[in-house]
Amino acid sequence: MCPVTMGLALGAATSVLSITGQKNMAEAQARAQNQQTKAEQQRLLQQQAAERINQRFQQEQASQQIQKASVKAAEARATARVSAGEAGVSGISVDALANDLTRKQAIYEFGVRNQLEQSNTATELRMEDNVLGSQQRILSINQPIEEPDYFGGILKGATTGINTYSTLSSIET
């Protein structure tokens, strides 16, 4: 094979291999970014679901506390009325005692509801923060993918071809 043909063939092969390798690397990077993005999206969905489950648990717990307090307050009012009746006390003082128990119940229930509202606000803020953090992770995952450098690949192949031609020409002379 003559030095020109050998140089051209080697140069063309180098160009094709260089460009093909760059394309393959870009495609592999795109696949990896896609997989990592999907994994991050799934992680966020699971995290948000866990937050909602925890929020529902806290709501149920608050409802149970309020219900227990309501039952205890009703029992306390009934006990106070019976005790007052047995002691022969009636009227305003018994009503005042019942009203005081109702007031204490209302204060307790307000505290439980207020705490639940604060907890819900904190949950919403955490969920917003989770979304923002996930968006940042997805942005860092999906960095621009370098496109194949066709000109550089052709130039590299041409350089290889010229060097091969020069080397083979100097050997033949």
Task: Tell me the per-residue pLDDT of 96-118, one tens digit each, with 9 for 90 and over.
Answer: 888 999 999 999 999 999 999 99
Cα(84)–Cα(69) distance, rounded to whole angstroms? 22
Q: What pTM did the predictor assign?
A: 0.68
- In order of 14, 25, 32, 33, 77, the CA distances from 146 in angstroms are 19, 9, 14, 13, 77
Cα(122)–Cα(104) distance, rounded to whole angstroms? 27
pLDDT digits (tens, 9 = 90+) for 131-156: 999 999 999 999 988 887 777 777 77
